[in-house]
Chain A
Amino acid sequence: MKLHIDVEKKLGAFSLQVKADISGEKTGIFGDSGSGKSTLVHLISGLMQPDKGEIILNEQCLFSTHQKINISAAQRRIAIVFQQPMLFPHLSVKANLLYGFKRCHTENRLIKPDALIDLLKLQPLLLRGVEHLSGGEKQRVALGRAVLANPRLLLMDEPLSALDDTLRFQIIPYLRSVSEEFRIPYLFISHSMTEMQLMTDHILEIENGRCIDETTPEQLARDRMAKSQKGYLNLLHLSSPRHENGLYIYTWGRNTLFISAGQQTEKSLFELSSREIILFKKHPEAISARNLLECRVAEMFESDERVGVVLSANGEKIVAEIVRQAADELNINTGATLFAAIKASSFRRLA
């Protein structure tokens, strides 16, 4: 997918001026509330018209003030998953799902309803009215409806922000698997760093209606480490734990992790803040933290007055955060050996 945007739009006191060339299948648009992310979604999809500029998707001009082109939203084949599911309340789940599919030209109907219904596990919901679905089910139907319109590009405009944490991380695997299975490129709009790390591999950062940076989720997480409330968030995919003495014991590469908030499920996703990791130069002998990992410093990076220490524990990477002063006092350098202590309760289970 190649998307060229060079647009200007004034909305009252707010003005958006974005120029960017986006390529790749999983692009994130990251920015705080009010930065102009949703306006950008409206401009790309054709629901709003720019004052000036051009939008070109895969060599096709969708909008150009110069060439006087403005392809309508209905003809752009850009589907949107909104913050709220926005299901049509007078239609059944099935009719909602097929709304876009029926309006798609036969030659473009590459994704078939049955395959999608299976993937999103929607079969039991098909004949129900949409008012009786849970929040997560509604968003799954909304996703299915958008995908079945067989779009050239899928815009996900903060699709998870209306859901609570548990549901949010239940939906993410669906979002990812749908786009991977059916090869639909997407723009994922969010202000959540975790969602960006899980959903995207390339990011446009928007601030005050301007595109201020093009980066990767990893780089953005590192840059925002000092500013962010939770620091750098390490995401760990762990599976099949043992349960002993009130703790869940997971295998993490060649390491073992003791986690309080574990669950006897096949796969779990945990979040570990960089600020929850304490570093020791020597083995601390006796310590209450249940996890003590011998690590090698693989890399170090700066984020304002903080230092990010990328630790390699038998090949598995996590990022710890220390203040500049601590880094100097402990004389931490790349290649040094450290001991990382992590409390069993520091891991937060996301899914």
Chain B
Amino acid sequence: MLLAPEDITAIWLSIKVALTATVLSLPFGFTVAWLIVFKPFKGKVFLEVLVNLPLTLPPVVIGFFLLLLLGKNGWIGKLLIEYGIALIFTWKAAVIASATVGFPLLVRSIRLGMESIDRQLLDASRSLGAHWYDTLLTIILPLSLRGILAGSSLMFARSLGEFGATIIVAGNIPGITQTIPLAIYDYASSPSSTTMALSLCMVSVVISVTVLFLHELLNRQLDRKRAL
């Protein structure tokens, strides 16, 4: 296997971006799933459409919208520049791109987990003196763990593979914003670098398999805990 120093950087950057995007999205994903599953409110359909939109939109379109939003002249971009924060063409932009694209997968999985919770358990908790936030933390959260785990794995894997949105908002700068898919894209463009591309593909497979194994392992641990 042949890996250049930039490839190693790309591997670490990919993991860093995917991990950061997943960890940052988790509390939001959990809250949105909770709102959709348990809270009756007007405009719920709009929230659902908005959350799921990145699933149906081409990632390039998402990247372009993000660029318009976060760029120098974008609504949020302008505001951030006042505070001295520049996001475009940094690894943070790659995080935002990955988070946006993976968010619907995260919400869907957590939502499935939450929907399988018997509502009477929540009634029981409330009648035993638990306020809504208490029920959320002591009943809903632990009983959604499987969904959270599945959602996180999916989102992490999706972030590792993120390409379209990332290349538009973060660019393809080796050592700075170049993640595994972007590096493979570079190698694939020149016929002499097939081996290098293949090496990075192998790394991708190893990371993905590791994530799936980890997911299964944690799932089994949850099963074992419940079986006690």
Contact = CB atoms under 8 A, between A and B. Distances in A.
Interface in B105-139: 118, 120-121, 123-132, 134, 138-139
A100 to B, nearest CB: 3
Given A89-B143, A129-B226, A129-B227, A80 B121 contact: no
A89 B128 CA distance: 16
Interface in A88-106: 88-90, 92, 99-100, 103-104
A259 interface: no
B74 interface: no
B139 A86 contact: no
A80 B225 CA distance: 27
A86 B121 contact: yes
A131 B123 CA distance: 20
Contact of A88 (B121, B123, B131): B121
A89 B225 CA distance: 10
A349 B95 CA distance: 69
A88 B120 CA distance: 10
Nearest to A100: B128
B118 to A, nearest CB: 7
B142 interface: yes
Given A129-B227, A131-B226, A86 B124 contact: yes
Contact of A74 (B130, B225, B226, B227): B130
Interface centre among A72, A90, A128 (most CB of B within 10 A): A90
B1 interface: no
A84 interface: yes
Interface string A58-99: 000000000000001111111110101010111010000001
Given A89-B226, A129-B226, A129-B228, A74 B129 contact: yes
B124 A80 contact: yes
B120 A82 contact: yes
A47 B142 CA distance: 22
A55 interface: no
Contacts of A221: none
A131 B227 contact: yes
A106 to B, nearest CB: 13
B128 A145 contact: yes
A197 interface: no
A344 interface: no
B126 A100 contact: no
A80 B227 contact: no
Interface of B: 118, 120-121, 123-132, 134, 138-139, 142-143, 225-228
Instruction: Across the A-B interface, give the 9 residue pairs with the lowest CB-CB distance, nearest first.
Output: A100-B128, A103-B129, A73-B126, A86-B124, A90-B142, A80-B127, A129-B228, A149-B128, A74-B131
Interface of A: 42, 45-47, 72-80, 82, 84, 86, 88-90, 92, 99-100, 103-104, 128-129, 131-132, 145-146, 149
23 contacts: A42-B123, A45-B127, A47-B126, A73-B126, A74-B134, A75-B129, A77-B129, A79-B127, A80-B127, A82-B123, A84-B120, A86-B120, A86-B121, A86-B123, A89-B143, A89-B226, A90-B226, A100-B129, A103-B130, A104-B129, A131-B226, A145-B128, A146-B127
Given A74-B130, A74-B132, A129-B228, 4 more contacts: A47-B123, A82-B124, A99-B125, A99-B128
